[in-house]
Each structure stands twice: as structure tokens, then as C-alpha cells.
Structure 1
Amino acid sequence: MSAKKDAVLEMGRRLFLERGILQTSMEQIAEAVPVSKMTIYNYYQSKEGLLDHVVDSLIEDTWNLYREVMDNAKDPLEALTLFYEEKDRFSLDVTQQFITDLVKFPDQMAKFLTFNREKIIPEFEMMIFKGQQLGQIRKDISPHLLVAFLTFIKEFTAKSEWYDGLGSLTAVSEQLMIILYHGILEQGANHTEIQEQ
């Protein structure tokens, strides 16, 4: 990929995430890079074509971060702690406006859901199962049910009206993470790192 094409992709990603997809025009992206609008169309053919590449880059970055945590954690409890501590990195600066707009692009939303179903969910289920075997995660909670619950929450929270009155996306995400983290850990598991934060 050329440096100019990379710059267009990065600027498209930044503006889509900051302002939302529908609120960002190709003219704004071209002006911010700076390149001609025709250059962007030559690289990506349309706004949807650029969005397709932005979604691919978000998926790739999410997977790389996920693998980094899973590969470096000594056990499931440490992995859960790292996921919590590095939640800002995992957010990838995704805003509520971006999620709300993405729902209006079914192919791109389906790509995210497929990625979660085929990559993240099986890995997370195995991590939960391993944590149960090590006595770190409650054995009375089915890994499949827990993942189904998380998937439901993720899909439900993509609806913008759900957030009315709850505060910022970051605050809501942090509180849900605390509820999840403390709700699934086995009593006596060493999870003081999060309690202290």
C-alpha cells in the first residue's frame, strides 16, 4: 500500500471514529490528508469502500491486541485483569456515534459480528473454561452462557437509545466490566488489582 493510500485510510478511520461515518464527508477526509477527492475515489471507489477498509483495520488491531494479552498472560485471571486494565487500548477510540452509524451499514456490522463469533468468542470461551479448571472463575457459570450474555450485551449496546441517561460510553463500559469481572470470579481468587482501582 502506498504512503498516500495509508494516509487516506488513517484519516478516514480517525474522522469516522471521531465524528461518525454519516457526519464525515469524502471532502473532509481529502482536505485533512491533504489529497484530492478523486485520489480517494481512485483508491477506495466510494465512502463505503473506504469504510470497508477502516473496519478491516479495526478488526485487525482488535485481534492483535487480543492475541497480545492472551499470549502474555500467565493464566485466565491475569488475562481478565489485563483486559480490564487496558480497556482504553481495546476501545480503539470507537465512539458511540461510530457504532450507531455502523448499524446502518449491515455488511460492515456483519463483518464485526462474524469476527466476534469466529475468533473472539471461541478464544474467550476457552479462557473461561481454563479459568474454571484452575479455580479462578466460578464453575457454576457456563462459559457458553457467559459468552452468549456478553454477545447480547454487545449487540444491545449498539443501539444508541440504550445509553440515554447512562452517561458516557467509557463510563458505561467501565461499569459493565467491573460487574462482569467481579461477578464471575471465584470467591477468594486474587483479584485485588481491580478492587484497588
Structure 2
Amino acid sequence: MTSEPTDPKRQAILSGATRMFLAHGYRNVSMEKIAQAAPVSKATLYNHFDSKNALLAAVISDLCESLLQTMTQLTIESDGVENNLTQIATSAVDLIYAEDALAIYRLVVAESPDFPELGQLFYQSGPQAVLTQLEDYFRQLNADGSYHIADPVFAADAFFSMLKGDLHLRCLLSKTLRPSADEKKRLVSQVIAFYMRGMLHAKS
């Protein structure tokens, strides 16, 4: 890991940017306003992020950091496939239903018709990075010879889609609805049990 995520100036900028984006939308927030919200000088802001797009990408990546770290730490031999997928699902659910993550999702969906590059930036900075890593993990399982996963791309997409489902849509449509810790734990357990039976086929 780099030291960037623990840099207090960088964290102040990310926190200020997140607050400003969520309060005022993407198009209505200038780099100057973000510097004031942090608060840091404009020189410090541009030393860390050279554009508003770069800053939004960093905000999204920061939200996804725990999940991405979980993904990069996976090995075929480590703790078994079911345990690995449980760790990924737990981290994913914590992210998917986090208040800031839901708010950023709403923001990007609202802004994307006028700023299509914003939607692409969001996808590349978060969902695509996570999907690609899970696809690679499934390909490693195939190469290792322990499992046969016919379509790693579909398998990765199905995994995260099951963790979202109708609940994620309802949370997006409500600013108060959130699954409890027990509900998230039960969701992970049910998805993993179903997924291990229906999607992954161990070789005998």
C-alpha cells in the first residue's frame, strides 16, 4: 500500500469534496469551493488532484478501498474458495449499503444524462475494477484445476448482482432504509450458500 490514503491533507480534501458533491451536485461544485471546504489552499488541492474528474475518481476509489484491498489479498491457496468469497461479499455489502456510497450512486445517476463521462468515470473507478479482479480470481481457479467456471465474466457479474438485488434499489429510493448488521450478515450467508451450489462446480 502507498502512504497516500493516510495523508491528512489528502483525506481532508476527499472529505470536503464528498460533502460538496453530495450537497450541491457535481456540476455546481468548483475546485475553489472544494479547497474552501477542505480547507486547504488551491495550490495544495491541485498538488493532490489536477482536475475535478480526478478528484471524483479518488472519492469513488476511496469508498471502494476496503473491498479492493480484500480482492487484491486473495490467493488460491489461502483460506478456501468459500471463505474467500465470504470475505469479498462481506466487504462488498458494507460498501454497497454505506450511506455515502448510496449517495454518490444517486448523484452519478442524476448527473450522467448531461455528463456521460461521469458515469464512465464512476464505473471505471469502482464497479469495473472490482469485477475485473473477481473475474481474474475465477480464471485462476480454472487454471488451478480445482473448479470449472464456464464463464468467469458472467459468474463475477452474477455474484455482485445477487448481493444487490431489490434491496439495493429500495435503499437507493429511500434516504432512511438501511439493512442492519444482522440483515447484511444473513444476506451474505444466503448468497454464498446459493452461489456455491449453483455457480461453482468443483472438480472431483
For residue 104 of structure 2, the aligned residue among 79, 82, 98 is: 98
Asked if 1:147 is matched to 2:152, the reply is no
Unaligned runs of 5+ in 2: 113-117, 198-204
Give the Cα–Cα distance (whole angstroms) in 2 for the partners of residues 75 and 65 of structure 1.
14
Aligned letter for 2:195? Answer: I
- CA displacement at 1:98 relative to structure 2: 1.6
- CA displacement at 1:96 relative to structure 2: 0.6
Contact 1:59–1:115, Cα closer than 8 Å, also in 2: no
Unaligned runs of 5+ in 1: 187-197
CA gap of 1:100–1:173, structure 2 versus 1, over 3 A, is farther
Partner of 2:202: none
Partner of 1:183: 194
Partner of 1:9: 10
Aligned letter for 1:107? Answer: Q
Matched residues, number:
178
Aligned letter for 2:35? Answer: A
Aligned to 2:135, what secondary structure does the other structure show?
A: helix
TM-score (norm 1): 0.58
Aligned letter for 2:128? Answer: T
Asked if 1:167 is matched to 2:204, the reply is no
Aligned to 1:185, what secondary structure does the other structure show?
A: helix
Partner of 1:21: 21
- CA displacement at 1:10 relative to structure 2: 1.5
TM-score (norm 2): 0.56
Give the Cα–Cα distance (whole angstroms) in 2 for the partners of residues 124 and 20 of structure 1.
39
Aligned to 2:23, what secondary structure does the other structure show?
A: coil
Give the Cα–Cα distance (whole angstroms) in 2 for the partners of residues 65 and 96 of structure 1.
20
- CA displacement at 1:56 relative to structure 2: 4.5
Partner of 1:80: 85
Contact 2:108–2:122, Cα closer than 8 Å, also in 1: yes
- The equivalences for 1:31-50 within 5 A come to 31=36, 33-37=38-42, 39-41=44-46, 43-50=48-55
Give the Cα–Cα distance (whole angstroms) in 2 for the partners of residues 175 and 86 of structure 1.
14
Partner of 1:123: 137
Give the Cα–Cα distance (whole angstroms) in 2 for the partners of residues 29 and 51 of structure 1.
11
